[in-house]
Amino acid sequence: MPPFRVLYLDMNSFFASVEQHLDPALRGRPVAITAVDSDAGACVAASYEAKAYGVKTGTRVADARRMCPGIVFRPSRHRLYVRFNLAIADVLDRHAELTHIRSVDEFQLALSGDAQSLDGAAELVARLKATVAAEVGPCLRFSAGLGPNHLLAKIAGKLEKPNGFQWLSVENMPDRIAHLALDDLPGISRAMKDRLMRAGVYDVPQLCQLDPRHARLIWRSVEGERFVRMLQGMDIPLTATQRGGFGNSKILSPEYRDPRRAYMVGRWLVEKATARLRRDGRVAGRFSLTVSMLAGSVWSRGVSCFPTQDSAFFLRLHRALWKALWRNGRPGQVIAVGVQLGDVSLLAERQGDLLKPLGPSEKTRGEQVSAAVDQINARFGDGAIRYGINAPHPGFFERG
């Protein structure tokens, strides 16, 4: 069996578990975390006791109350969860090499020595579980995934919840994950799933057996080749210069769920994502919009473009995609909005365009304006200058 190099830890019902740890009266009871203290609000996290009744992220508070009599609601406390995240990270780093804090509830560790074997890794996981329980809290449990690279380790970490431990390698792939849908895999959006299916890739075994060069064509990026090679067990490290995209998504509070208000939140998300793109000195050649309806349906579309970092340009693409969504009639209430800037590369490596005309790595007029806006906002505060009307929706329940 090839050596295992990565251990991925996924905390189980992290927000609810923190609340149960701090209030022993909540232990063993169904708990849901909410962004808004209202029956019209939605659950953004749930304990496993609540999940057993069907309560999950996005479930309306009123529905959760009906589905799970006796459920306890607690408001989100972002700073508190971050403090527990850091406490767990400290434990992990004392027992292994903590290489990445992937999110508030996910951690990635590099393995060496005996821990690269299955038995050695199992011993390490047991030690970490015991230490986290003893030093941070017995309610704080995690599922662990083991793999030869970070992708397989992360997938393995999702296979057994709660408090599980699974591994993936060339020895048990792709059979071990053949039951998963394509978009169950991290990094496969609904739009990418549609693209794969149009290319004749209908399930996970077919994806695992895909020629990596074909994957590059489907993704329209080297990231497709990297993704398939990792599924096939190759150790391809994460590097800062190979970021796949910049994006933000937001679970909307009730007052923002009208589609017109959700559209304005989307404009704000575009401004945030493009500002981050420029801070990293990058350009994006694809823009995608995802709109999730309260009724359960999801609409997602993307469009390719000349690589740019111009906020006004991406806002025009954002508007065009919303128009496409409205084409068949006014959408219903919106529960979440997400924007994604993909096909990312360095501005310094962008080729020129004779038709504009534009020299290699030279900024367009729109990009120069965007950079000036960044400078003013850095001096006078975010939002001092905006690209027209938007609807800021600050809060913890966003990604990006």
Q: How far apart are CA 254 and CA 252, in angstroms?
A: 6
CA 26 to chain centre: 29
| Catalytic choice (19, 49, 97, 106) | 106
Residue 106 annotated as catalytic? yes
Cα dihedral angle (129, 135, 139, 144), rounded to 10 degrees? Answer: -20
| Catalytic residue set | 106
